[in-house]
Amino acid sequence: MHFKFFTSILFFSCLFLIFSGNQLYSQTGNIIIGNNITLNSKILDEERTIQVYLPDSYSTAKANYPVVYLMDGEGHFSYTAGLLQFFARNNMAPEMILVGVPNTFRNRDFTPIADVTVAGSGGADNFLKVLKEELIPMIEEKYRTLPYRIMIGHSLTGMYCFYTMLKEPGLFNSFIAVSPWVIYHNNFLVDFINKELPIHTSLKKEIYFTAGSLEQQDLLTTFNRFNEILKTKAPEDLTWNYKLMPNENHGSQFLLAVYDGLNKIFLGWNLPDDVASKGLNSVLNHYKKLSQKFGFDVLPQEAALNNIGYYFLQKKNYDEAVNIFKKNVELYPESANVYDSLGEAYENMTNYELALKNYDKAYTIGKAINHPFLSTFQRNFERAKNTLQNK
């Protein structure tokens, strides 16, 4: 089923989002962003409160999800959760679980080397053990996760993103480092990456990092050195992007940086119009490349395929429309609408037998779940049935 006046794939997608979005203001009760769980860390000999946001579909779907680990969770959890929800609802990224890691002793846990001016510093390696041996295993045991992890950090924890990438490259796939504190301990991180990068002949990771144009000058100068090292010594398979954010200071850039970082990491997640307009093979090849990049199966959304099918149906390319709708039936066999759309394609081809068969399937599934468009499914079924009887 489709609205007949749609004239472009982009317009299809926009209207689908408008009419399918959650109606937040029709609900009552508290607005709950996430839950707190407890990590009993034997390594640190302390209890840690961990914040968890689950995506919209978690309670109703059987899917598994990538996980974003947010350092400094106490400061950034709520609006980062909102940003992940925004990206997913606009099909700019997959739905993701967010794990916020609030601090108990920030200067200890995220500093790779002790500095006499920073009390308790030098515990970064120990906290890497916490992530590797305690936190990540607990999250993956408790929740349905995919083997794709993103770390987000700011300032000191932004520095920690780079440190983690090189010290424990197997822990995370991508990183967003917001204004990493590259001047810690006499520019320790600059010397560290200068030494460590050449050791890694392969580092298939992605890291996005930023600085603000209003930050202190010694930080910006050190960033220039930092970038030169990456240009000359980064392995070819390390994807890195640096952005100097105009009119932003050390603290103000966080939300913009995470937005841009997610955009970079999930570039192409929202199917481009020029790919969709080339047909099913082009679409499937696009998602094959995404699957290879992320290491898990990335499938076209039902609504996206449905819209593309109607694009070809309006162009009277019936064979391509049927192929696309058939693929949607294959991927989403429990959906009533995929059969209704396939039935409409067959009806346009005057193949009323197959049209009736698919309309019947749509009506049967729709009736069982009291589908909101059940009356449309029934009307389509009756029309095809009457056409066959009058032939």
pLDDT, tens digit, 9 for 90 and up, residues 207-224: 999 999 999 999 999 999
CA 331 – CA 325 distance, rounded (Å):
10
| Residue-wise pLDDT tens digits, 336-354 | 999 999 999 999 999 999 9
> What percent of the chain has pLDDT above 70?
93
**282 within a domain of the structure (yes/no):** no
In terms of DSSP bridges, do strands 35-41 and 46-53 run parallel, antiparallel, or are they unpaired? antiparallel
Query: Do residue 239 and residue 313 come from a single domain?
Result: no
Distance, in Å, from the CA atom of 65 to the CA atom of 80, rounded to the nearest integer, reads 16
pLDDT of amino acid 24: 41
Q: Tokens at residue 100, please?
A: 């916020």
Do 305 and 255 share a structural domain? no
| The two structure tokens encoding residue 31 | 């607005």
* Domain co-membership, 257 together with 297: no
Task: Tell me, yes or no, whether 61 lies in a domain.
Answer: yes
pLDDT at 13 over 90: no
Looking at the fold, whether 194 and 244 belong to one and the same domain comes out as: yes
Judge whether 152 lies within some domain.
Answer: yes
**Orientation angle between helical segments 280-294 and 318-331, nearest 10 degrees:** 40
Q: Which residue has the higher pLDDT, 391 or 287?
A: 287
CA distance 2 to 324: 14
Whether residues 217 and 313 share a domain: the answer is no
- 340 and 255: one domain? no
Question: How many other C-beta atoms are found inside a 10 Å radius of the C-beta of residue 285?
Answer: 12
One domain for residues 215 and 148: yes
Q: What pLDDT, on the 0 to 100 scale, is given for residue 308?
A: 97
Q: What is the pLDDT of residue 8?
A: 41
Q: Is residue 16 part of a domain?
A: no
Q: Are 158 and 179 in contact (CB under 8 A)?
A: yes
Q: Does residue 293 share a domain with residue 246?
A: no
Residue 24 lies in a domain: no
Same-domain check for residues 228 and 297: no
Look at residue 233 and tell me if it is in a domain.
yes
Q: What is the mean pLDDT of residues 257-285?
A: 97
Domain span at 127: 32-265
- Per-residue pLDDT averaged across 321-341, rounded? 98
DSSP codes of every residue in 200-257: -S----EEEEEEETTS-HHHHHHHHHHHHHHHHHS-TT-EEEEEEETT--TTTTHHHH
What is the average per-residue pLDDT within 149-168? 98
Q: Averaged over 241-260, what is the pLDDT? A: 98
User: Which CATH number covers residue 210?
Assistant: 3.40.50.1820
Provide the pLDDT for residue 391.
76
Domain membership flag for residue 311: yes
Q: Is residue 348 part of a domain?
A: yes
Per-residue pLDDT at 29: 81
The pLDDT value recorded for residue 295 is: 96
| Amino acid 1: pLDDT | 64
The number of distinct structural domains making up the chain is 2
CATH number at residue 358: 1.25.40.10
Tens-place pLDDT, residues 181-211: 999 999 999 999 999 999 999 999 999 999 9
How would residue 27 be classed by pLDDT, with cut points 50, 70 and 90?
Answer: low
In terms of domains, do 212 and 334 share one? Answer: no
The region that residue 82 occupies, defined by phi over 0 for left and psi between -120 and 50 for alpha, beta otherwise, is alpha
Distance CA 262, CA 79 (A): 14
What is the percent of the chain with per-residue pLDDT over 90, rounded to a whole number? 91
As a whole number, the mean pLDDT across the chain is 93
- Given a cut of 50, whether residue 264 has pLDDT beyond it is yes
Dist CA 43 CA 127 (whole Å): 8
pLDDT digits (tens, 9 = 90+) for 42-76: 999 999 999 999 999 999 989 999 999 999 999 99
**Domain termination residue (choose one: 233, 265, 297):** 265
Q: Are residues 143 and 261 in the same domain?
A: yes
Q: What is the pLDDT of residues 100-147, one digit of tens each?
A: 999 999 999 999 999 999 999 999 999 999 999 999 999 999 999 999
Using the predicted structure, report yes or no on whether residue 299 has a pLDDT greater than 80: yes
Domain boundary among 232, 250, 265: 265
- Are 315 and 377 in the same domain? yes
